């Protein structure tokens, strides 16, 4: 395709999502002198911005907050010319650009043409689905200790889950709450060893092992949770609490791409080692993809790979392959 036939308004690469994966992709694409637009959610934010402390990102000894790290990513990518706007993307569909197939991305009342799309939409916290959870959302039920922890100073709270996020957030809550009870369906934690040791050594933390939550109760706000012992005869007991923090895993934000590219049985985007999806010109990276480990560093690696893969794809479309 000649330069004269190329639509001037079309982006080389459009990135959906403003977390570590998307911003790294934006950095690499912009640095490669590709016309690149990143659309970050207007009504949602990257989950990492709600993380109080990241201490396993290489080179940042002493730790850094998720919000600060993302701001650093934005500043660096912008210095290379990445265009960043805010908006909720509602559709991605095929569109003919000149004499080749491209994509049209809609966000709000605006549409954007692009030759390649990188999906980096991340995940949302999974809900328990028990009585009282939706009723008390914002009135005692939370999915973000960093956001709401200071509201529970000298109060008793419950954390549901036993993985990395649950234990990390429970330790953060111990800075404010009088008592933090971790409710976990197994008899041991699933978090990294160093977090487990910290949790077991923290005097403010208590543990309800082999237990699941059956109900979150209260009147105007949360007053406690009812839990069931999964090992015994199903014994029920109540734990008083003014706050309930839920960290039981994630749900991928992939409805946008459903029917366009293949998803696995859990709704994650299937991408190969080059971050290519089953749809030509659609790449995916970060937590929204089917993968073993969801961490900032793996998201960044995915983003870099997706950008380079998309670069090669766009250059081939334009007949400019090296």
Residues marked active site are found at 144, 147-148
Interstrand relation of 89-97 and 100-107 (parallel, antiparallel or unpaired):
antiparallel
DSSP 43-94: S---GGGG-S-B--STT-TT-B-HHHHHHHHHHHHHHTT-EEEE--EEEEEE
Which stretch of DSSP H or E encloses residue 27? helix 20-31
Contact 148, 163 (CB under 8 A): no
Tokens of residue 27, six digits: 């950095």
HEC per residue, 290-319: CCCCCCHHHHHHHHHHHHHHHHHHHHHHCC
What DSSP designation does 276 have? B
Other Cβ atoms within 10 Å of 114 Cβ, number: 27
Tokens of residue 53, six digits: 């402390």
Which stretch of DSSP H or E encloses residue 240? strand 236-240
Q: What is the C-alpha to C-alpha distance for residues 169 and 23, in angstroms, rounded to an integer?
A: 25
Among candidate residues 66, 50, 102, 110, the one with its CA nearest the CA of residue 85: 110
């Amino acid at each position: 395709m000649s330069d004269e036939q190329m639509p001037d308004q079309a982006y080389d690469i459009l990135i959906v999502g403003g977390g570590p994966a998307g911003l790294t992709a934006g950095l690499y694409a912009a640095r490669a002198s590709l016309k690149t637009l990143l659309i970050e959610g207007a009504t949602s934010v990257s989950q990492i911005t709600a993380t109080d402390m990241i201490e396993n990102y290489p080179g940042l000894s002493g730790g850094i907050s998720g919000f600060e790290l993302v701001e650093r990513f934005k500043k660096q990518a912008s210095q290379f010319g990445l265009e960043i706007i805010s908006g909720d993307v509602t559709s991605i569909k095929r569109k003919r650009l000149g004499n080749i197939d491209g994509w049209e991305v809609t966000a709000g009342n605006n549409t954007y043409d692009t030759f390649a799309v990188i999906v980096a939409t991340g995940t949302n916290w999974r809900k328990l689905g028990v009585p009282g959870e939706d009723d008390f959302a914002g009135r005692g039920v939370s999915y973000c200790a960093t956001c709401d922890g200071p509201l529970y100073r000298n109060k008793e709270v419950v954390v549901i889950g036993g993985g990395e996020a649950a234990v990390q957030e429970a330790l953060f809550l111990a800075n404010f709450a009088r008592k933090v009870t971790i409710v976990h369906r197994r008899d041991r934690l699933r978090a990294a060893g160093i977090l487990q040791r910290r949790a077991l050594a923290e005097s403010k933390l208590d543990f309800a092992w082999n237990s699941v939550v059956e109900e979150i109760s209260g009147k105007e706000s949360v007053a406690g949770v009812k839990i069931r012992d999964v090992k015994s005869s199903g014994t029920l007991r109540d734990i008083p609490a003014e706050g309930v923090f839920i960290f039981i895993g994630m749900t991928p934000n992939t409805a946008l791409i459903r029917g366009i590219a293949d998803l696995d049985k859990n709704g994650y985007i299937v991408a190969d080692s080059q971050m290519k999806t089953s749809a030509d010109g659609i790449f995916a990276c970060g937590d929204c993809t089917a993968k073993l480990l969801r961490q900032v560093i793996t998201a960044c690696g995915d983003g870099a790979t997706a950008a380079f893969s998309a670069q090669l794809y766009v250059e081939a479309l334009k007949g400019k392959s090296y």
